[in-house]
A and B are shown apart, each in its own frame.
Chain A
Amino acid sequence: MAPVLPSAALAPPSTAAQRKSRTGYLLLFPGMTWLAVFFAIPFVTLFVTSLQSPIPGKTGRYQLGLEFGNYATALSEYWPAFVRSFAYAGIATLLALIIGYPLAYFIAFRSGRWRGLMLVLVIAPSFASFLLRTYAWKTILADESPVTSFFNALHLLPDGRILNTSIAVVAGLTYNFLPFMVLPLYAALERIDPRLIEAANDLYASPATAFRKITWPLSMPGVVAGTLLTFIPASGDYINAELLGSTKDRMVGNAIQTNFIEFRDYPTASALSFALMAAILVLVFTYIRRAGTEDLV
Chain B
Amino acid sequence: MRWLRRNLITIIGILVLIYLFIPIAVVTALSFNKPAGKFNLSWNELSFNAWTNLCGVPGVCSSFVTSLEIGLVSTLSATLLGTMIAFALVRYRFRGRSTTNLIIFLPMATPEVVMGSSLLALFLNLRFPLGSVTVAIAHIMFIISFVVVTVKARLQGLDPRLEEAARDLYASPRATFRYVTFPLVLPGIIGAALLGFSLSFDDFIISFFNAGTLVTFPIYIWGAAQRGIPPQVNALATLVFVIALLIVLTSQFVQYRRRKALSAL
A: residues with CB less than 8 A from B are 1-3, 5-7, 20-21, 23-25, 27-28, 30-32, 34-36, 38-43, 45-46, 48-49, 99-100, 102-103, 105-107, 109-111, 116-118, 120-140, 142, 175, 178-179, 228-229, 232-233, 235-239, 243, 252-253, 256-257, 260-261, 266, 269-270, 273, 276-277, 280, 284, 297
Contacts and interface: CB of A to CB of B under 8 A. Distances in A.
Instruction: Say whether chain B's binding surface is mostly helix, strand, loop, or mixed.
Output: helix
Contacts of B88: 23-25, 27-28
Contacts of B255: 116
Quick one: which of A7, A117, A131, A179 has the most chain B CB within 10 A?
A131
A282 to B, nearest CB: 14
B117 A256 contact: yes
B106 to A, nearest CB: 7
B92 A24 contact: yes
Given A23-B92, A266-B124, A131 B100 contact: no
Nearest to A6: B164
Contact of A110 (B9, B26, B27, B101): B9
Given A127-B241, A127-B245, A175-B23, A38 B111 contact: no
Given A2-B91, A130-B202, A132-B221, A261 B208 contact: yes
Given A2-B92, A21-B92, A236 B202 contact: no
Contacts, number: 264
Contact of A228 (B26, B109, B122): B109
Contacts of A238: 113, 205
A122 B13 CA distance: 11
B59 interface: no
Interface of B: 9-10, 12-14, 16-17, 19-24, 26-27, 30, 41-42, 81-82, 84-85, 87-88, 90-94, 100-107, 109-115, 117-122, 124-125, 137-138, 140-141, 144-145, 148, 160, 163-164, 167, 173, 198, 202, 204-205, 208-209, 217-218, 221-222, 225, 229, 233-234, 237-238, 240-241, 244-245, 248-249, 252, 255-256
Contacts of B91: 2, 24
B245 A124 contact: yes
Nearest to A124: B245
B221 A129 contact: yes
